[in-house]
Every structure is written in C-alpha cells, then in structure tokens.
Structure 1
C-alpha cells in the first residue's frame, strides 16, 4: 500500500516508516488507517501518533484507480444543529451523488482532537471540503495542501487553497441602512464577529452603514449563534440588560428565537423593537411578522464546493481563488415594512448565475 507524506525535516514518509516509528507491522498500519477491526486501542494510538508525526497520508487516488472510481468526498462541519448546516449538507451531498461520490462526514464539535480527526479523514477520502477555520484549522489545511485537494467554505482565504463564500459585507450594510431608514437610532448587532469570518463581515457592514451617516456603531453583543443563545439574550433584554429599538441578528436562528420570546412577553415587533436576521431559512417566510433577512444560497455553497472538489480530484489545477456567491436583502414585516415580501437588493451575477471569482 503506497503512501505519501513529509516529516518536518526529513524525506517522504511511507507506510514502512510509520510502521518502524510505531514498532508494528505494515499490515497493522494498514488496518488502523483504513479503520479496520482487530487492533488494540494502545496500538492504534501508537500508529496514529506515528502517522501524525511523520505527516503520512495514504494515496487515496491510487486506491481509487484500483477500483476505478473515487471513493469519497470528505466534508467537515462544526455540527448539524440548526438549518444552515443541514442546507449546506443537502447541497453538498446532492451534488456529490450526481458525480458518483459518497460523502464521509466529520463533525468538528464532537472531536476533542480535530486536527487528528481531519488527518484521519484524509486517509479515507480523495479530497476534503470544510466549513471555515473551525472545521479546518489553518495549520491542517496547509499540511494537506498539495497532498489532498482542499476546499474551504465560508472561511478566510488561505494561500493557494480554493474557497467558496457568500457575499456578506455589502448586504449587511444595505440591511442596516434599511433599518436606520425606519427611524431606528439604537441598533444592536447580536452575534459574535469573532465566531466566524462571515459574521465578522456582517458586523463590518453594520458599522459601515452607521459610518456613512456620521453615526457611531455600538459594540456587538457577543453571543453564539444558536437558538438557545437567542432565548437567553431575549431574557436579558426583557429584564433591561440591553437597550435597543432594533436588533440586527447574525443569523435567522438567533433572530427567530429572540423574536418569539419578545412576542410571547407582549413586546410588539416591529413597533417597539425591529428584529432582522440572516440566511432566509424557510421559517422566516411563515412566522408572523415575517422576518426581514438576507437570503444567501446555502445549498449552492454546498453544491459548488462538491463541484470544485471534484474538479481538483480529477486533475484541475488549484487556483487559490475565492468564488463569491451573491446574497439578497429580503424585506418582510419584522423591520416595519408593510409588504409581505420584497427583494430589495440583487447583486450582479455572472452569466452562469453562480457568483464571481475575486
């Protein structure tokens, strides 16, 4: 079983050097790296540690040629709770299936040693797509680069590595400006800009909208992006812990949970407090008041990542470019608009309708 890898200062690693480092047979190394049974836990740990130390990865492409197909696409997500991740997975898996690929999924939040989990995944698949730095640490991406195809979704660009993102800053500025047009003067951004690059860019758009009007944007309320965190924020808000007449939320999951808690407490949305979100999940269209938000093509992000990964696996040279998919501002009643639904902003698209390279 051939393999490739590079230690920090030595020649290419092979299955033989891993076996020598771990003090086991090459057959044992092969069973461990393929996830086979019959290996003691302590021995498995020694093999994995040796492979990590040497930077060893089996040649998945060589195994694929032997069976005349690509084995799998790897996908690393933080978790599966919430509508965003499921939409992304649906888009990725559907496109991979069209290409004849299976998908091996790893959830970062359930892995105490994510770097090792990703390196182990790399021994089982022909290429890996990952959602941002939380799912693919930069040092791991750099280690895999050149040895396994890697695509980063909704993360900061890394030199020489393909990335696919949705536009965030301009639409966030348009959304915030629209809220300010409703004569709201005490806006709060709810969500942690340090939690993800796309949220950081949304807060940058929030700040830009204030700056363009000579206003000073308030510091964000730094909370995670889950439903329960929105409920906790709403409880503090109702108790007087925050003062605002508009809440610009980092995603729809926060916005919907906050709005539901406020409405249950008798707060009039939007007359007393405007609530807006981001993503345009299905529920945003059916709650009352309808949620003003930014629609991003989450399934398209997943599908395009699978497409690009397939291109790289089958020999397309990496460009290191970022593909940026457009987003749309969708107005509903939660911001104070009377319309049931109006698409206000539709950024320019390419002829293929799949975004632009930047």
Structure 2
C-alpha cells in the first residue's frame, strides 16, 4: 500500500518502482534522463520520487565518501547586491574547505522541487534562501536525505537555520523616524515575500504601538530597482503622501529616492527615506541613506561552514542562529550631515 512507503533515507529505487507500478529499469532510465520511456511512465516515476523524497542511492554513497566535494546553493535570483554578496561569502568559505559550489536559481523554474532534488544528487549538501520563491515543502522534501542549511528562514526540526536580526533594528529605525516628528510612516515591501521582511514589518508595527499609533498596511511591492521607481511614480500622483518611507531593502530605497528627487521632492525635507542592507552606494548618495547594516557576507560564510560541518557528520543546531544587525544613521532620515553613527545589537 502507498501509505506504507517511507521517504528520505528509507526510500529506495525498489520502493519507487513499487509505488509507481513500473520496473526498476524504468525508474533508472527516468532518473538518468533517458528518452526511452513513455511520458506516462516518466510522470508516474517522478510523482513517486516526489512522494517518497527519494535521493538515488549513488548520491547517498557519494555523501558517505564525500565524492562530490560540492555544495549546492539555491537562491531566488542573482539581481541586486544582496545575492552577490551572499554568494561571495558562501563560495569563499566553501573553497577554504575544498568544496566547489553548484548554484541553482529558482526564478523561471517550472518545477523547482524537481530541480532541487536533481541538484541533490550532484552535491553533498544544500543551502537555500528562505523566501516565497523557495517554498517550505521544497526545503523539507530533502529532510533526512541530505544536509540542508536554510538561510534567512524559519527554523524547522532537523534543518539548520541561520539568519540576521530583523525585528529589533526595524523597530529602532521606525522609532527614530517617529522621533524626528514624522507622522505618516509607510513600510515599503511585501512581508509575505520572506521571513526577513515579515520580521522587519513586525518591528515597524512594534514601533508604532510603542508610540500609541496604528501602523499603516505595507505597500506590498517586489524588491527590484524597477519596482521602486514605479512605486515612486505612484507616490507622486497620490494626494496624501506619507512623510517617511521604511523600505525593505536599499535597492528600493535608493530607486525611490532618486525618482522623487528627479521630480522635485526634497529628501528628507518632504519625505524621509530609510533602507536595509547598507550597500556600498548608501554611503555615497546625497543625502546619505540611513539604513540597517546586516552581515550578508558573513551569512553566506556561516551557511557554508555549517554545511561543511553537517556533511562531516555534525548534528544540526536547534532553533535559528541569529547574527546581529546595526542601524546606520545618515541624512536621509532627517539627521544633520556628518551625524552618521552606528547602533549595534
């Protein structure tokens, strides 16, 4: 019966064949990418593989002897400075341990779960970014079959999870704007896109509650430069504009600030703008961008380090390992020039 099949380490090519109702040879041909099988057989085998969370035995043997000497890294995309810095930190640390890195981008994949399972056969372990682009069931599908480290995601039993602090710094930066006398703050970014942004909006709400205010609903937009520019255009035509924007990342903040300034608005006079990440550009624009510095390179390096330890036989850490962030005050929030300082957590 199908209900008797176990996934993960308990799954074998025999149980896949039994569940799919085909021969072992057919399963082998499908997994090797052969075209000498019917589409119906292929679909049945792949459905059984997915249900059982099956990783081919050859990959399991490779894990035992560390034959691959490669780590997999799954990211939503590579646009923007965040992903580049994360990848750099990950690759640098992996190389120190003698591992190569195989990169998989979620964007454009019709069946991400299948792509990730295929990647798992070529590497010793995987690190994945926690986001809406990489659903939780994809992460958990490898549970028990390959070491997994989740970056900037929620902790799950048996899955290593690391991230940067979000809520406290977001509360602090929003409270700072309220302290500047700003009355109509707006959070720009979609809290549903990732646990990181969800927690940043939570900190935004906490700052309002502490001030006896009700927080506005967020402006749920994506995090690319073009999305920030389009949002700024909408803002310019709005009747009752906010007087402060708390952006989910620097890419949005910089794009919005540039567009508003081009259209004659003063930052921070007409609208204060703050971001998140502290990318290099943030310190060179005028006004300098107030933001939150998070250790992106260190996150990538820690993910590779923990993956190396797991592949070497170490047990996963329980809960979420959190790296500190720090508020960086510049002029875009209303602070006087050269008042830049850091607030560490």
TM-score by length of 2: 0.90
Any idea what SS the aligned residue of 2:332 has?
helix
CA offset at residue 307 of structure 1? 0.6
Tell me by how many angstroms 1:33 deviates. Answer: 3.7
Equivalence for 1:268: 266
Which of 104-113 and 229-238 deviates more? 104-113
CA RMSD of aligned residues (A): 2.3
Return 5+ residue gaps in structure 2 as ranges.
none
SS in 1 for 2:46: helix
Q: How does 1:41-56 map onto structure 2 within 5 Å? A: 42=39, 47-56=45-54
Q: Does 1:211 align with 2:206?
A: no
Equivalence for 1:63: 62
| Structural mapping, 1:314-333, within 5 Å | 314-333=312-331
Q: Which residue of 2 aligns with 1:311?
A: 309
Deviates further, 336-345 or 231-240: 336-345
The residue number in structure 2 matching 1:251 is 249
2:162 paired with 1:167: no
Deviation string, structure 1 residues 149-187 (Cα, Å, up to 9, x no partner): 111111112223210010001101111111112111111
Q: Which residue of 2 aligns with 1:102?
A: 100
Structure 1 residues 188 and 54: CA distance shift in structure 2, 3 A:
closer
Note if 1:125 corresponds to 2:123.
yes
Q: In 1, are the aligned partners of 2:246 and 2:274 still within 8 Å (CA)?
A: yes
Q: 1:88: which partner in 2?
A: 86
Sort the Cα spacing of 1:242 and 1:69 in 2 relative to 1 into closer, same or farther, 3 A. Answer: farther
Distance 1:224 1:19 in 2: 42
The one-character-per-residue Cα deviations of 1:43-66 (angstroms, maximum 9, x if unpaired) are 765643442244321243412556
Query: How far apart are residue 330 of structure 1 and its match?
Result: 0.5
SS in 1 for 2:55: strand
> Shift of the alpha carbon at 1:321?
2.5
Q: Residue deviations 1:84-122, cap 9 Å, x none? A: 111111111111111111111111121111222222222
Q: Secondary structure at the match of 2:276?
A: coil
Residue deviations 1:222-246 (CA, integer Å, cap 9, x gap): 1111111111110011112551111
Match of 1:226 in 2: 224
Q: Classify the secondary structure of the residue corresponding to 1:335.
A: coil
Give the Å deviation of 1:252.
Answer: 0.5
Q: Aligned partners of 1:116, 1:323: CA distance in 2, in Å?
A: 28
CA contact (8 A) 1:255 1:276 kept: yes
Measure how far apart 1:13 and its partner are.
3.2
Relative to structure 1, the CA distance from residue 47 to residue 341 in structure 2 (aligned partners, 3 Å threshold; closer, same or farther) is farther
Query: 105-114 or 167-176, which moves further after superposition?
Result: 105-114
Q: Which has the larger displacement, 166-175 or 178-187?
A: 178-187
SS at match of 1:323: strand
- CA distance in 2 between counterparts of 1:297 and 1:317 reads 24
Q: How many residues of Structure 1 are paired with residues of Structure 2 in the alignment? A: 338
